[in-house]
Copies of this chain bind each other. A is one copy, B any other.
Amino acid sequence: MLPYKSLIQIDRTSTIPLYIQVCNYFISFITKGTLQPSQMLPSTRILALLIGVDRNTIKLAYEELISQGWTESIERKGVYVLSSLPILTQKNNPDIKNLVEKQDAFIWTNKFSNAVHSKNLQKTQLAIDDGFPDVRLAPIDELMREYRSISRKFYGRNFLKYGDAKGSENLREALCKYLSTTRGLHVEIDDMLITKGSQMGIYLSAQLLLEPGDIIALGVSNYTTADDIFKQTGAKLLRIPIDDYGMDADYLEQILKKKKIKAVYLIPHHHCPTTVTLSMERRLKFLKLAKEHKFAIIEDDYDFDFHYANRPFLPLASIDHNENVIYLGSVTKTFAPALRIGFMMGPSNFIHSATALRELIDRQGDTTLEEAFASLFNQGEMNRYYRKALKIYKQRRDMFCELLKVNFPDEMVFKVPEGGLAVWSVFDTNIDLIKLSDNALKKGLYIDNGLFYKNELFSTNGLRMGFASLDEREMSEAISILKKVIP
């Protein structure tokens, strides 16, 4: 018999019932191979004596073991480890355990490597971020009020069961109305899919459009996460130069004489990272090329709502586009990044497929949150918010640019962005942004180190400097820390 007295240590202070504790010990003996199939368990009487608990506790434990299929009771003989259990080898040497385990583990190819996101951004109070909205301006309280009232109203209703994978019909309706007034974009609510942020729209488009070896055209500088999404489909990235008018359509035209492309990824308002706006002339040119060469345009227009120079340009999707445009937008990139709601529209059958894929990934979005946003749109709250935020962000942009100009006349070059929530600053090559970022953090300011924006063709010593989330005081404070750490 095993030395049960020393093997089983009952903990009377634990909230776990005694019989479960006993049961768990036996399971571990069996799975570790200490007790082998067909071996007998001690009698309830003896075990009770050995470990000092009531015999009924042991009986309960044994019943549990039997009902869970670990052991069997053979009449007049006793309780045995199930003879049909596979024999497990006992591991005597815990030192080699890890080694053995690694060798026996399943084999797979690691295709993805985790992006290294700085946790410092969340932990630092003061941050020059990538261009986030100021969550203090967003009507979070109103959103929560709606969220709560909707949950109450539908409490116990089918509402909390599964919903439409395309997302809340109310929100789609509100968004269609909003898009029609703000950008002349007319779309049927069935041709719209609510996504988790515009990023999911990029992912779904990539999965549907691209097969390994296909070519997708995108900027020499580009939103790096989009690059990663496209790469993982096995597609080849074809990089197109970006200048002050956005992506160079003529360059693409030349390429198209020799190569077929499957899609082009555009960020018309405002290119990430360099914040330029795609000119109307080029917008029309891309549409013309798409029609002639039958490729899809993925129009990531997440930044449409914050354009200061004039009314924002008409999206490609609002112009006659022969069903060649997949339009992506974000509600929450303009509101609060952690609340993830975006939308995607395009040809009916494409949206139908995208919905099917979305259903496989995560079934549906957060219905309650979607309904709450629908209410905010319908009450005019979102429009009020956009108007207010636009005004404040414009002031902040002007102030921030002024501060940069005055304080760092030789250290950086930038253009005042026509829109968006960040300034693209190119730093003097003598300034090491990694060091700058480290040193700023030591003084309480988060600022990115610029690595995120680099790729195999783009190595400018630049940085997106988000101004929108900083109020006047914070901005001065941030600049004064920057002054100390910029040599």
Contact A311 B105 (CB under 8 A): no
A369: which B residues are within 8 A, CB to CB? 366
With A314-B27, A324-B105 given, is the CB distance from A160 to B181 under 8 Å? no
Task: Give complex CA distance A123, B68 in Å.
Answer: 41
Chain A, 182-225, CB within 8 A of any chain B CB:
184, 195-197, 199-200, 203, 208-209, 211, 225
A256 within 8 Å of B (CB atoms): no
Chain A, 416-451, CB within 8 A of any chain B CB:
none
Q: Mask for A133-154, Cβ within 8 A of B = 1, else 0?
A: 0111000110010011001100
With A69-B280, A135-B156 given, is the CB distance from A112 to B82 under 8 Å? no
Task: Give complex CA distance A119, B23 in Å.
Answer: 46
Contact B280 A113 (CB under 8 A): no
A235 within 8 Å of B (CB atoms): no
Contact B338 A69 (CB under 8 A): no
Name which of A48-56, A288-296, A388-396, A400-408 contacts chain B.
Answer: A288-296
Task: Give complex CA distance A455, B189 in Å.
Answer: 32
Output the least CB separation between A302 and chain B (Å). Answer: 12
Contact B32 A320 (CB under 8 A): yes
Contact B108 A362 (CB under 8 A): no
Contact A196 B362 (CB under 8 A): yes
Task: Give complex CA distance A330, B469 in Å.
Answer: 35
Contact A285 B362 (CB under 8 A): no
Count of this chain's copies in the oligomeric assembly: 2
Contact of A121 among B160, B162, B195, B323 (CB under 8 A): B162
Contact A160 B148 (CB under 8 A): no
Contact B160 A68 (CB under 8 A): no
Contact B360 A122 (CB under 8 A): no
A352: which B residues are within 8 A, CB to CB? 113-114
Q: Mask for A91-125, Cβ within 8 A of B = 1, else 0?
A: 10000000011101111111111110101011111
* Residue among A115, A158, A340, A352 facing the most chain B CB atoms (10 A cut-off): A158
A73 within 8 Å of B (CB atoms): no
Closest to A365 in B: B340
Task: Give complex CA distance A204, B140 in Å.
Answer: 32
Contact A363 B197 (CB under 8 A): yes
Chain A, 340-397, CB within 8 A of any chain B CB:
340, 347, 349-350, 352-357, 359-364, 366-369
Closest to A109 in B: B211
A363: which B residues are within 8 A, CB to CB? 196-197, 199, 340
A64: which B residues are within 8 A, CB to CB? 310-311
Output the least CB separation between A235 and chain B (Å). Answer: 12
Contact of A70 among B31, B32, B84, B280 (CB under 8 A): B280
A284 within 8 Å of B (CB atoms): yes
Contact A362 B199 (CB under 8 A): yes
A457 within 8 Å of B (CB atoms): no
A481 within 8 Å of B (CB atoms): no
Task: Give complex CA distance A144, B288 in Å.
Answer: 50
A151: which B residues are within 8 A, CB to CB? 140, 144
Task: Give complex CA distance A219, B364 in Å.
Answer: 25
Contact of A160 among B15, B160, B337 (CB under 8 A): B337
Contact A280 B68 (CB under 8 A): yes
A211: which B residues are within 8 A, CB to CB? 109
A57 within 8 Å of B (CB atoms): no
Contact B228 A323 (CB under 8 A): no
With A161-B122, A184-B24, A356-B115 given, is the CB distance from A105 to B338 under 8 Å? no
Q: What is the interface of chain A, defined by CB distance below 8 A to chain B?
A: 15-16, 20, 23-24, 27, 31-32, 64, 67-70, 82, 84-86, 88, 91, 100-102, 104-115, 117, 119, 121-125, 127, 129, 132, 134-136, 140-141, 144, 147-148, 151-152, 155-165, 181, 184, 195-197, 199-200, 203, 208-209, 211, 225, 228-229, 232, 262-263, 279-281, 284-285, 288, 290-291, 294-296, 309-311, 313-314, 319-320, 322-324, 336-340, 347, 349-350, 352-357, 359-364, 366-369, 469
8 residue pairs bridging A and B, Cβ less than 8 Å apart: A27-B184, A91-B320, A101-B322, A105-B323, A106-B290, A108-B262, A127-B158, A161-B336
